[in-house]
Amino acid sequence: MSREPADARLGRLLAIVPWIAARDGPTVEEVSRRFGVGEKDLLADLNLLFMCGVYPFTPDVLIDVDIADGRVWIRMADYFRRPLRLSPQ
């Protein structure tokens, strides 16, 4: 995996996650080509998502990533399915 700035990696993940989540299991090769990233780097990025969610970091509030047979699926945690309610604070 190449050493790149965290902001570049984060920006890529923010684009990749909704793109994969909106599709039914695109291939790792397809995602790599679409976002111009090597497959090894893509898999390393996707492995970070297993730890992403909100407090208390239980399975129902973590992002679920499945990688099998060269395809990838992302399911958002139940928390992300609810509309965000903003307050003045």
Q: Provide mean pLDDT across the span 42-54.
A: 85
| Distance in angstroms (rounded) separating the CA atoms of residues 84 and 6 | 26
Tell me what percent of the chain is helix, strand and coil, each rounded to the nearest 5.
45, 15, 40
Convert the pLDDT of each residue in 28-38 to its tens digit. Answer: 999 999 999 99
Half-sphere exposure of 3 (CA within 13 A, CB side): 0
Q: What are the distances in angstroms from CA 24 to CA 19, 20, 71, 73, 74?
A: 10, 8, 9, 7, 9
Q: Which residue bears the tokens 């992300």?
A: 80
pTM equals 0.76
| Distance in angstroms (rounded) separating the CA atoms of residues 63 and 53 | 6
